[in-house]
Structure 1
Amino acid sequence: MKNVLIGGIGNVLLGDDGVGPYLVRMIAAHYEFADGVEVIDLGTPALEFVDNIAGRDAVILIDSVKLDADPGSIALYRKADLAAHAPSIRMDPHSPTLIEAIHSAEFYANPPSDVLLIGIVGASFEPSCTLSEAVQGSLSNATREVLRELDRLGIGHCRRIKAADPDIWWTKAPALPSETHV
């Protein structure tokens, strides 16, 4: 049995940056997986990110990316690709990059052997709890990439007969209390 993580990365309060958490919740609601597969909304991971990937056989991550490409486009990055494109400057001290987390796991002798980052080009990263139309339109293609990677790894999966509630709490508007007249 392989130990596989399907993780969504991103800030759900910054528009398209929340595509990772959104999509993993949708995937978990619509698909069942073989034992050993864990589907997690990682949010905006910091130092604990190493703990999430260490000891895994494979890691599939979904995140928004900023590329010179049309919003909604999908870019796939393997471990070697991530190492080749690792940023030389960290923007803040509490957010280790993916490649730094992989190197840390290697230091402790338990890195994932397979890593795939499914990057979805975002259109808007402004404060908002909704995804742009372009990113919404890419969700089925990104899901296919996750399933294709599971097939490549020999990991079983099937569509649920009845989808579960994806609990995408940040897209639900709270009900306003009804007015009471005395």
Structure 2
Amino acid sequence: MSTTLLIGIGNVLYADEGIGVHFVNYIQEKYQFYHPTNSIDLLDGGTLAQGLIPILCRYDNLIVVDTVNSPGVNPGEVYSFNFDQAPPEIDWQGSAHEVEMLQTLIMMEMVGDRPDTHVVGVTPTVIEPMTLGLTPSIQAAVPTMEKVLLKHLTEQGFTYQQKAEVDINALIPDSYKRGTLAYA
């Protein structure tokens, strides 16, 4: 049996930087996932980075949802790639938590504990302290992020069923309360 973790990374108090957390909460509310032999867990990873190592190393596959920095790219541009084959334009310098997550994944690789890692990322618009919510560019990117995530999971043999109509903006006010491991 193979295990997959879908983890959202970001600081929900810094506007678009919280998209990873908001998106994973959105997917958790909207879908139920199935696989004949494998399991998937969903987690709000916040900004814990290295503190997540004991959790991350228990999984065979990891899907990280986060902001990604790519100079010269418009806000809301969605990326989906294997961590080992990151596009050259991704520079991992968007925010402190982004750099820490990159360092965490590299450290895990060095000791042989990093799961096979896939990234679903979006370039942010606004990263401002104490701004809860997403800008229109990032809100507009959510359907594309959803599509690439579902495509990736389908390629991994998962099926899914929509269990609810969900508006990501309706989840944001309570996002800081959801920081626990949730099973799909």
What is the TM-score normalised by the length of structure 1? 0.77
Task: Quote how far apart the aligned CAs of 1:86 are.
Answer: 6.9
The 8 Å contact of residues 11 and 17 in structure 1, kept in 2 or not, is answered as: yes
Which residue among 104, 120, 123 is the counterpart of 1:121? 123
Identity, % of aligned positions? 22
Q: Which amino acid aligns with 2:24?
A: V
**CA deviation digits over 1:58-114, x for unaligned, max 9?**
111111122221111112231213497676x9x87x98634433343345544312x
Q: Is the 8 A contact 1:46 1:96 kept in 2?
A: no
Would you tell me which structure has more helix in proportion to its own residues?
2
Pair 1:78 & 2:82 matched: yes
Task: Tell me which of the two structures has the higher relative contact order, counting C-alpha pairs closer than 8 angstroms and 6 or more residues apart.
Answer: 2
8 A contact 2:69–2:91 mirrored in 1: no
Aligned CA RMSD, in angstroms, stands at 3.0
State the TM-score, normalizing by the size of structure 2: 0.76
Alignment partner of 1:31 is 2:31:
yes
Q: Following the alignment from structure 1 to structure 2, what is the Cα–Cα distance between the partners of residues 2 and 24? A: 20
Larger Rg: 1
Determine the structure 2 residue equivalent to 1:177. none
Aligned to 1:105: 108
CA distance in 1, matches of 2:99, 2:54: 12
| CA–CA separation in structure 1 for the residues paired with 2:21 and 2:173 | 10
Identify the residue that residue 168 of structure 1 maps to in structure 2: 171
Which consecutive unaligned segments of at least 5 residues does structure 1 have? 173-182
Q: Please point out which of 51, 58, 61 is paired with 1:58.
A: 61
How far residue 38 of structure 1 moved from its aligned partner, in angstroms, is: 0.5
The count of aligned residue pairs is: 167
